[in-house]
């Protein structure tokens, strides 16, 4: 009997360690994990993602229609309204998967001011660049999945969120989880970009609540380009 109990305890311990090892960064929806992150005053997140290794992350306040880029190590955590999100792009192994950019006239004017020659390559597929270098992972695997966000801030215009930063088998648990998070946030920020580009009549009601993003990008909110 004692041997049986000991075997059961060892099984539970190994299972818990395995679950902890496989767990990556996580998106949260009003969970204790999201509430435990220190946000700037006045920011109340509905969704949040924090990188597995490090404190960098991103969160979304539905009531304010704003995001918060979490960079506590660099003391750069800041609230960004949806009107100041200019572009978002999702890259897998440095190859462009999807991109959304402000296309309205006010948005284009802001882009011309913020999108310098040094920043442009960060939002282009390597195939569009003369000296672009695409990252190559072993066949059937992927090593990085990164969301790049361009905001209307001259001092810190570019923010990067890593959903995957290790070699993972495509179709595997780690890869699928990372890709799900990446596409969700790409889809949500694309929606905010499209919303920012629409004129708001003076008599218009406040924007309705944004539902949680789907696991697949909406073709209307993200321009998908082949790898």
Query: Which band of pLDDT confidence, cut at 50, 70 and 90, is reported for residue 139?
Result: confident
Q: Is the pLDDT of residue 82 over 80?
A: yes
Q: Is the pLDDT of residue 189 over 80?
A: yes
pLDDT at 21: 35
Give mean pLDDT, residues 83-109: 95
In whole angstroms, give the CA distance from residue 127 to residue 113. 25
2-61 pLDDT, tens per residue? 554 555 555 444 444 333 333 345 555 554 445 556 788 888 998 999 888 777 899 999
Q: Which residue has the higher pLDDT, 187 or 226?
A: 187
pLDDT at 64: 93
99-127 pLDDT, tens per residue? 999 999 999 999 999 999 999 999 998 87
Q: Is the pLDDT of residue 68 over 80?
A: yes
In whole angstroms, give the CA distance from residue 88 to residue 112. 16
Q: Could you state, in order of their start, the residue ranges of all structural domains in the chain?
A: 83-127+134-199+207-224
Contacts of 172-178 with C-beta under 8 Å, sequence gap 24+, read: 173/22, 174/22, 174/24, 175/142, 177/24, 178/24, 178/25, 178/145
**pLDDT mean across residues, the chain:** 77
pLDDT at 172: 96
pLDDT at 198: 86
In whole angstroms, give the CA distance from residue 20 to residue 79. 31
Whole-model pTM: value is 0.71
Give mean pLDDT, residues 186-206: 79
Give mean pLDDT, residues 148-157: 94
The residue behind tokens 């404190």 is 55
Give mean pLDDT, residues 155-184: 94
Phi, psi for residue 65 in degrees, rounded to 5:
55, 50
In sign, the C-alpha dihedral spanning 76, 175, 94, 221 is: negative
pLDDT at 34: 53
């Amino acid at each position: 009997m004692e041997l049986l109990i000991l075997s059961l305890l060892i099984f539970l311990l190994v299972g818990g360690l395995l679950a902890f090892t496989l767990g990556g960064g996580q998106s949260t929806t009003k969970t204790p994990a999201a509430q435990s992150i220190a946000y700037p005053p006045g920011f109340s997140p509905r969704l949040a993602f924090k990188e597995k290794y490090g404190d960098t992350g991103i969160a979304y306040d539905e009531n304010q229609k704003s995001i918060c880029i979490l960079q506590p190590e660099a003391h750069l955590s800041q609230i960004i309204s949806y009107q100041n999100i200019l572009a978002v792009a999702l890259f897998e192994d440095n190859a462009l998967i999807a991109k959304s950019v402000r296309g309205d006239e006010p948005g284009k004017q802001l882009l011309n001011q913020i999108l310098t020659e040094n920043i442009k390559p960060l939002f282009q597929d390597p195939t569009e660049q003369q000296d672009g270098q695409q990252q190559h992972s072993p066949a059937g695997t992927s090593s990085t999945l990164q969301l790049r966000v361009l905001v209307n801030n001259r001092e810190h215009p570019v923010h990067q969120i890593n959903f995957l930063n290790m070699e993972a088998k495509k179709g595997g648990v780690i890869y699928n989880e990372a890709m799900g998070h990446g596409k969700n946030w790409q889809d949500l920020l694309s929606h905010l970009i499209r919303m920012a580009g629409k004129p708001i009549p003076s008599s218009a009601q406040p924007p309705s609540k944004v539902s949680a993003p789907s696991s697949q990008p909406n073709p209307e909110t993200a321009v998908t380009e082949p790898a």
